[in-house]
Structure 1
Amino acid sequence: MDVRCPNCGGPLRRFRKLTRDEEAHVRRILEVADPGAYHRCTRTGCRRFQRWSNWREGGDFPEALAAG
């Protein structure tokens, strides 16, 4: 899915579903029951994750989880 990424700016970016480790991180830092409602940017070096239905709701993964 291509959506706006506030970290990357510019054109729409490709996002993908979260991995299990990423879901655990989102669940822990946002304290949400359904981390499956979030996806992440796939641009190399981007750490952005955001809600499927609202690009303004999200955050960044730590450097260790940067997209490669």
Structure 2
Amino acid sequence: MNEPDTVVSELADRLELDRTTIWALCRRFEQWGMAVVEDAPRPGRPRRLSPPPARRGGTTGLL
């Protein structure tokens, strides 16, 4: 099995993040488990997805 420092370094390189960010995520996961994946509630109006912009001819970018 790989050493934790090696795995963290490889992840940091692959995700283009700092190693300390990866370690912080590991600590959060140890504390909260899979709940870490869920986004924290935020104040304000909930986000909404907008439809893609219309293309030439008036069609949208949807399938």
TM-score scaled by structure 2? 0.31
Bigger Cα Rg: 2
Query: When you count helix as a share of all residues, which structure comes out higher?
Result: 2
Query: When you count strand as a share of all residues, which structure comes out higher?
Result: 1
TM-score scaled by structure 1? 0.29
